[in-house]
Structure 1
């Protein structure tokens, strides 16, 4: 059975030109795994591999070239969306664009906790209910205007505005005093936020004390003077989000300023000489979209200096002379989601539907047990992705290492479906539902990268082996923006979907899994979920042991209820040209900041 499944996986991967190119020899050894070309009988002998180890800092220690230029490759099969505002952007690609010119006022350390090393300092009250943030002298927007405390207030006014439809209105923002009344249109101001007379200090008071004050408080300001004031009717929320001042001519207070945006394709940045942190090393940065299929060649030719590297191309890159690979286990996980209800736009809450096609959790549990993620991690991603067990990643200290999730077990999957009444009535090998009716699931998944299509086929085959018929929605894969547009608009014929989350630094999972989260695409809700999420950010949760216990309970509940089935944790790889200096992927390193990066000749 093992051999049959592995051989099927290899046959799916025949579509991968990069994979085929890697098989120039009869055998190749990768991370201790010996394998032969597709079709070899020895493919079944794949053994468990040790987790890989990569450096997090570049090895080049040479002096920085004055006025150098760096080319940053944004690896994507699709154009970037270009929503260049911290309060409005939605995907990881736009986050990469923002990194060069937009910043938070407060810096964070290697544990993602706020520090006083950024553009502002902070103080927290004795009762842990108020944070006071003071902007340092000389912090300026790219148009020369000073960054003000009222600019941070403006971010909160946008996120809490009744017309705001973005993803940022979550805890701890919802915990601010007066935010509920403001969000409901019952107040014109947010009573819990006060600004000093000199407009350099902002005090934010919260309804309840929460440890999220140290890891989740929002400190990215928005330039009110430049964009226009939505609170005074100078511009509507829709006009603001789609304006050129966000899409093509944004400003920030980061180390580089945006000079030119070619929509969906590239951004030219130039050094901001008045950057509060000092003179950035680079004179300019060119960010350009590079297709995942051509990124390796671009790196080898020196056309790109830095790029997040596709793990499916690791074999071809690991011995390259022109660049080095940095890597660490990241904050991201991939998942299969289940459509269990809908988003109530009027009341802005998720509503579960007891009559949803996948309402019976035993079916969801079975689908998780049917997925052979260990083979995917080894064969498609060369050991650089590992089977996921819970919805908190290993990069977060609150992950429950004792919880093993739902391992690959097709026999258990079949037993769960039998128990739920999903049996093959007509003998065609495909199960009907509990009422004896045809049961077909529409699968939404996205294109992009060499592995996307074979991975989708692999999971569909896994589910077919336990008697479930799954078909691609519209008969094809969808590009990234269309994928998320369909989830956000709530297309009713989506039954399951495959996506990925980068969870952020705050361990609080309510931003993805909460009742009031617009990003809760499964629309899963329960009273127990509400209770545990609230407890995890309560005053009592300042006790780390208490908070860990709460999140252990939450992880166990989600393994039982399966609103999302996590599939893989992943190593984040970055390919960095050997001419790059002062570069690190460790958030605790000073070289993590773009203004420190440089190049040599």
Structure 2
């Protein structure tokens, strides 16, 4: 799945739910310290297994299976879709709105563009040519790229998908600011034009897209890369497409496997697409079935599934020596963080409204709370080293953009106390807790989510760490918050519960490094409600014409990372490993973030 601006934020919301279910709440190499986010690329030696001290590193894992046996032609595998609820069965990229369905779609329908190691689009099923002014992108679909019913994938299919999303009757989630950037898009959406002027079908296989405001992010998820078979959907009213048989019962794509049968909500049987444009698949059959999180280990042990969509890292130590399984690992494109409430959301203006009198308004108070916590210890104690202390707000899966030399607070409770003293937060009544600068009682309300065995002890650790430097922090309402309640109170929908002072959240960062969707003044997901002129300036520069120069953009995001360390509207707590167990009979499987060999058509079994 390519993470466009909208899907990036959807994934962020979904990630926090996953964290809530699995723990407390997605390459590598950028940090310099490989044990802290470095990665092993394309190594073949099998790794993993028990650790003598119970502490692991992402360096203990490969991205690719190490099975180098002879792949048998034919055979089948079973993919475990880990979920505690049925999948919706919205099997078309244009309409899906959840991770379970996307896990199925990845086998069935390819994007027309591939992703490189820097998370930018590159030539795939279609080639890319960019005009000198960066406004017009010309895509030419390869001649051998066909739908699974034998019809060619055409330029009009790609344009049709985008026009469907822009249709006023479209009921999916993808009509966003990225699509609105296509010339003539809003006129078409509002019924003032009968076609999108920025979409030009040049010939059967060539499509031109012209954008109003060119930015470097267009090639990092800012272009919708999926086509729809117009010859199937053209006679279905847009308002009826989501529930149509073409989406629910008989979906087709351009990928290596095609849908053979569906048991709604439970399983999907796929068979090889022998005319797949990259090459004929090694496997004859793939069965995707839903399995409950509680039986993942059992299903892997008895061979009922060959691989699964997700595996909680905190369960790895107890299962590291599973005999029939190899664990693959990568740095996840995500991080957890502590956020400080610095304002509210102005729903009328659609932007942040800073509060100059916010309880957490003193930057030294915020910095002190960062110095007070030992996130290395949290990663080792609760995640056995498979989550580790985070430094900046650009994760190690984006090594091109990370600033490795930014000085960030490290665990130092004495430094925390010094900052609080200097800022005027003192314990004047001798009760062990510091009062505010006016000598009044200071109680900081902390919102954190329930779910999993580690959620409560981690929250309690943070509260105790802050207590040790004299800060009185209490859980909001004296308890952990359930997922929906947490988001309703922290800021979803522009709501801000005035009782929330600080909160523990998580973000999936997606392919595009641009952080404006999470920290811009007009970003509803900017839950800290942080706003500053310098932040506005840097976020704008990161999307400017000058930012097409990679060195310039890298310098902008280095300055932005430094600014966020200086202003501390939030501070990152943990980066995380992504672990995927795969049966040892499977060969040519990868969890790399970039599109490269081995591709899914190359997956096979050796026994």
**Residue pairs, 1:551-562, within 5 angstroms:** 551-562=557-568
The 1:52/1:277 distance shift into structure 2, 3 A limit, reads closer
Aligned length: 552
Aligned mates of 1:439, 1:278 — CA distance in 2:
63
**Where does residue 535 of structure 2 map in the other structure?**
529
CA distance change for structure 1 residues 140 and 344 in 2, over 3 Å: closer, same or farther?
farther
Match of 1:285 in 2: 286
User: Does 1:123 pair with 2:126?
Assistant: no
Contact in 2 for aligned 1:159/1:169 (Cα 8 Å): no
Match of 1:73 in 2: 80
Output the CA distance in 2 between the equivalents of 1:552 and 1:273.
47
Q: Which residue of 1 aligns with 2:42?
A: none
Cα 1:88–1:550 change in 2 (3 A) is farther
Distance in 2 of aligned mates of 1:165 and 1:419: 52
Match of 2:408 among 401, 405, 410: 405
- State the match for 2:11 in structure 1: none
Find the counterpart in structure 2 of residue 585 from structure 1.
Answer: 591
Structure 1 residues without counterparts, runs of 5 or longer? 1-14, 17-28, 36-48
Is the alpha carbon distance of 1:101 and 1:186 closer, same or farther for their aligned partners in structure 2, counting shifts above 3 Å? same
**Within 5 Å, which residues of 2 pair with 1:328-407?**
328-343=330-345, 348-396=350-398, 397-407=400-410
Work out the CA distance in 2 between the residues paired with 1:234 and 1:474.
Answer: 51
The answer to whether the 8 A contact 2:64-2:328 is kept is yes
Contact 1:121 1:134 in 2 (8 A): yes
Counterpart in the other structure of 1:99: 106
Distance 1:186 1:559 in 2: 46
Cα 1:398–1:88 shift into 2, 3 Å: farther
Task: Give the TM-score taking structure 1 as reference length.
Answer: 0.78
CA contact under 8 A between 2:330 and 2:579: conserved in structure 1? Answer: yes
For the residues of structure 2 that align with 1:109 and 1:402, how far apart are their CA atoms?
25
CA contact (8 A) 2:444 2:502 kept: no
Distance 2:204 2:177 in 1: 26
5+ residue gaps, structure 2 = 1-21, 24-48
Distance (whole Å) between structure 1 residues aligned to residue 172 and residue 349 of structure 2: 12
Match runs of 1:19-98 below 5 Å: 33=53, 52-75=59-82, 86=93, 95-98=102-105
Pair 1:470 & 2:470 matched: no
Which residue does 1:26 correspond to in 2? none
Instruction: Indicate how the Cα distance of structure 1 residues 126 and 583 shifts in structure 2: closer, same or farther if over 3 A, else same.
Output: same
CA contact (8 A) 1:453 1:477 kept: no
Tell me how far apart the structure 2 counterparts of residues 175 and 327 of structure 1 sit (CA, whole Å): 37
Residues 416 and 161 (structure 1), Cα distance of their counterparts in 2 relative to 1, 3 Å cut: farther
Spell out, residue by residue over 1:82-108, the C-alpha distance to the aligned partner (whole angstroms, 9 max, x if none): 665545666655543432223321112
Higher relative contact order, structure no. (Cα contacts within 8 Å, ≥ 6 residues apart)? 2
Q: Does structure 2 conserve the Cα–Cα contact (< 8 Å) formed by 1:208 and 1:539?
A: no
Deviations along 1:98-144, whole A, 9 cap, x unmatched?
3222332111233333332x221221223333210122235444566
Check 1:292–1:128 CA distance in 2 against 1; reply closer, same or farther (3 A cut): same
Evaluate the alpha carbon distance shift between residue 133 and residue 392 of structure 1 in structure 2; reply closer, same or farther with a 3 A threshold.
same
